[in-house]
Structure 1
Amino acid sequence: MMDNHVLIPHLFRTEYRKMVSVLCRLFGISHIEVAEDIVSDTFLTATETWSLDGVPANPTAWLYTVAKNKTRNQLKRHLLFEQKLAPAITYETDAADTLEVDFSEKHIADSQLAMLFTVCDPAVSTASQIALALNLLCGFGIQEIADAFLTNKEVIYKRINRAKDKLKAAAIKIEQPSLSAIDARLEVVLTTIYLLFSEGYYSTSHHTVLRQEFCAEAMRLCDQLIANRRTATPAVHALMALMCFHASRFDARTGAHGEIILYRDQDDTRWDKALIEQGQHYLNTASTGIQVSRYHLEAGIAYWHTQRADTEEKWENILTLYNHLLTIAYSPIAALNRTFALAKARGKATAIAEAEKLQLTGNLFYYSLLGNLYTGIDNRQALAHYRAALKTVGTDADREIIQRHITELSSDIQDS
């Protein structure tokens, strides 16, 4: 059994979003805060009770039972619920005592899917949709979302509140998405899942680079989309393929003490071959239809990274995929990543010229990549870039690996 101080944060990550989804679906969009308050109070009760009485035999079931009781008490205590909310859920005399809050696995899955498409309603701006979904359905804190969006907490806080106000004003009904809702909102839903996985794959807000619980949650949400025939589109399968390929190398990405292991140094016997095969299956399934999404292209790039051999074919394919990606979904980071493939396919000198055109000053990856590209060509220049990278570093793991490069280069320069 986990220690109480470890178990409760773990359960908060895994169960909070499930409980909120079920209660939001029960109460309606106008009472999001009530659902959040009940679930938050449930975890507060767990913290207080378990510290005195110990952890129960089935802590998850304990949380669900307490949440059910608090929901019934909420219905009893507040006139608002008795007069407005309760009738909408067939409330009758003494019905609060027998109200069944359904925390079954199927109802949780249905509620999460319904909530995911509800918060991604077109009435809300795309940025606010994603911020609310990450906060409400994925359990992200405000600072974590701010880090994912490369902005500050105040901006995210305003986006979330605006999203809630818009949904309430529009009186959006929480229900399983229709085909028209899927067409209108699926892209934002996929972006939300993608951001969730990305934050887990490379965390900028914690002193750890890899947060596998975030990645697992993203894959679970995507699996829900695949399980529903109306949402199982090629882009959804491509996103799942992308996540499988990346997740297959999790065990090889970090060492025993949490240190980063670079791709070139990873032990490929620790790559998860079953996940690679699953990724190939999803990518093959995604090949139906005529549209190619960014997820198809990124999945293709990730696939080639599961092939250890450092061949010309591999890097030419990766470079081609990046070229296509930049035409349909340009981003400075994608352009920066392309230059590494360019270095492998066409040489470092060509890649340096392309990388320096980007002028991503102040960016950790920009300086780190230039440090890598200049190593062996101009070690003093490489050292200067790694020292610039050290000034922008955000995690202990990144700091350690950059310092390692600096130490090695300083030694080589002294010996030359």
Structure 2
Amino acid sequence: MVTPVDDNDTAAAAAVGAVSSNAAAAAAAVAVEATSCARAAVATAATATITAGAATVASDAVVPAAVSNEDATDDSTNNKVCRFLITNLQGGRGYAKNDFRIDLLQSKHGLYDIAETVFDIMDKEKLTNDMIYSHLWDMTFNKKVYKNGWRRQTMPDSGEWTQPASETDIDEGEPRLFSGLNTPLEKGQKGKFGGESASFEYVLESITDMSAAQKDKTYPHVSKVANQISTKVEDDWLTPSQKSQCIKLQEMWGKFYSGNNSWKRAKRSPDRAFTRAKPSAPQWGDELQIMGLLINADCKFKKCWTNIMQYAFVDRTESACSMRWYQLKKEDYRLKWYGKGKSAAEKISLAKRLAKSTMKVQLERKPKRERHPYANADEAVLREYAERDLAYENGY
């Protein structure tokens, strides 16, 4: 028996078949897309791996390995020890009893390390309570002046500064490394440190290769230098050669001051002219401290002049020093501070140390005839100076 077929049933069956066919097609499409995504993910991972490897290779090729300070000093060309002699060290509480030697490494240290080490010395010697950054200070080396305190760190220990370092700045961020100075280090180069917290002088005594014994030291390395100057008012602090040089300089300065080696403004001159004149003596400076120490030690002028002052004050006459000596004895407000808290022997010893330092400076100076004040000025500048000076005098 044949079952009759209804048209509606046929249509329904066809619809079901179509839906099933579409579902199968959709499933196949999803499967294909999933496969494609998987392949893309694998390709991406492979590409990332290759890129990372390439980046690693590139990084290893471009960035050098870090070199420690210890490794840097293994090079024989860098194993140089610079020895500086620190003299006339003075803090807020007076002068140090000794001088000091500071050993530094040429490849790692700089001028700032000298100052920092000296402040550590002053702290141990109880010469000051100030820190290196408490006040402004200047540091001269080989006739070039460096200045500290004119720029600040944005935050403590940040390593960032309010402004870039100039040619004269010196601080923790710009220590003026020995290896970076414009002039190479040489034995005998000198410098000074001056500020409200401290003052001292220093000289480069030697530059030597690091020995086996020196490799075990920690740098900066500090050692004391015993004070060999006696406490007697004698000329035992001088060598015969220094004595003869000072005597010759005295004669040269005497002739200089007695001749027309300077200039002065001509009186009632319409063209503001200058005429030759005798030089004036310089103002009293460090000489007063040496005099004050000797006065407070109850020393006599004549003996002090014969054994100390005439060699330190080669550009002064005995009569001028005598007048200033007895005038200083009346200036109690000034005199009481010289050598305060020291014994008479310590005052004499300190006076001789300062005299020796002053004498060394004097031996490097020679009297020189002064040039005309406007020798290097052009006509416009000369007229400006003349008008200014004339207006100033007319105001009085």
TM-score, with structure 1 as normaliser: 0.27
Q: Which has the higher contact order (CA 8 A, sep 6+)?
A: 2
Report which of the two has the higher share of strand: 2
TM-score, with structure 2 as normaliser: 0.28
Report which of the two has the higher share of helix: 1
